Chains A and B, each alone.
Chain A
Amino acid sequence: MIRPILHRVAQAVLVALMVGVLTFALMRSLPGDMAWRVAAGRYGYDITDAAVMEQVRHSLALDQPAALALLSWFGDLLRLDLGVSLISELPVVDEIAHQLGASVTLALTALLLSVLIGPPLGVLAGLRPGGGLDRALFALSITLRALPQFVIGLLLIYGLAIVFGLLPASGHGEAGHVVLPALTLAIGLAAVSSRVARDATVAVTSSGYYRFGETKGLRPLENFLRHGLRNIAVPIVTYLGVQLVYLIEGVVVVETLFAWPGIGHALVHAILARDVPMIQGTALVMGLMFVLLNAGVDVVCGGLDPRRRAS
Chain B
Amino acid sequence: MTAFQRLRFGAALGVCLAAALITSPTVRAATAGKPDDRALTIVARWELKNADPSVNGYAFTRMEVAETLVDADGNGTPKPGLAEGWEASADGRTWRFRLRPGVSFHDGTALTADHVVTALNHARAKPGSLSKAPIQAITADNGAVVIQLAEPFSPLLSFLADSASQILAPASYDDKGNVTQVIGTGPYRVAEFKPPQHLVVTRYDSYWGGPASIAKATYLATHRSETRTVMVESGDAQIVFNLDPASVQRLSRNPKLTVQAVPIPRVISVKVNAGHPLLSDLRARQALSLAIDRTGIAVGILRQPETAATQLFPPSLGAWHTPGLPPLTQNVDRAKALLAEMGWKPGSDGVLEKDGKRLRLTLRTYPDRPELPPVATALADQWRAIGVDVSIAIGHFSDILSGHQDGSLELGLIARSLAVAPDPLGTLMQDFGPKGGDWGAMNWSNPALTEAIDRILRSQQAEESAAAKRTVGTILHQELPVIPVVWYTQTAAVSKTLKGFEIDPFERSYLLSRLRWVE
Contact = CB atoms under 8 A, between A and B. Distances in A.
A261 interface: yes
Interface stretch (A14-22, A168-176, A241-249): A168-176
A202 to B, nearest CB: 15
Given A40-B398, A47-B420, A179 B22 contact: yes
Given A36-B402, A49-B430, A176-B27, A124 B50 contact: no
Nearest to B24: A166
Contact of A43 (B55, B197, B399): B55
B334 interface: no
Given A172-B197, A256-B223, A258-B227, A121 B4 contact: no
Interface string A147-165: 0000000100110111011
Interface in A223-261: 224, 256-259, 261
B253 interface: no
A42 B25 CA distance: 41
A47 B420 CA distance: 8
A57 B11 CA distance: 61
Nearest to B11: A120
Contact of B396 (A51, A169, A179, A272): A272
Interface string B317-343: 000000000000000000000000000
Contacts of A175: 27, 30
A285 interface: no
Contact of A169 (B8, B18, B236): B236
A89 B178 contact: yes
Interface residues of B, number: 69
Interface in A90-147: 90, 98-99, 113, 116-117, 120-121, 123-124, 127
Q: Report whether over half of chain A's contact residues are helix, strand or loop; otherwise say mixed.
A: helix
A165 B234 contact: yes
Contacts, number: 180
Given A40-B398, A50-B438, A88-B195, A173 B230 contact: no
Contacts of A222: 3
Contact of B127 (A55, A161, A170, A257): A55
Interface residues of A, number: 67
B230 A158 contact: yes
Contacts of B417: 46
A50 B405 contact: yes
A221 interface: yes
B401 A48 contact: yes
Contacts of A43: 54-55, 127
A183 interface: yes
Given A170-B230, A172-B198, A117 B1 contact: no
B194 A261 contact: yes
A81 interface: no
Given A176-B27, A257-B226, A46 B420 contact: yes
Interface string A176-220: 100100010000000000000000000000000000000000011
A87 to B, nearest CB: 6
B14 interface: yes
A141 to B, nearest CB: 15
B218 interface: yes
Nearest to A223: B3
B368 to A, nearest CB: 6
9 contacts: A36-B402, A89-B52, A166-B24, A168-B234, A173-B200, A179-B22, A220-B4, A221-B3, A224-B3
By Cβ-Cβ distance, the 9 closest A-B pairs, closest first, are: A221-B3, A259-B222, A36-B398, A176-B27, A120-B11, A169-B234, A49-B438, A161-B234, A116-B18
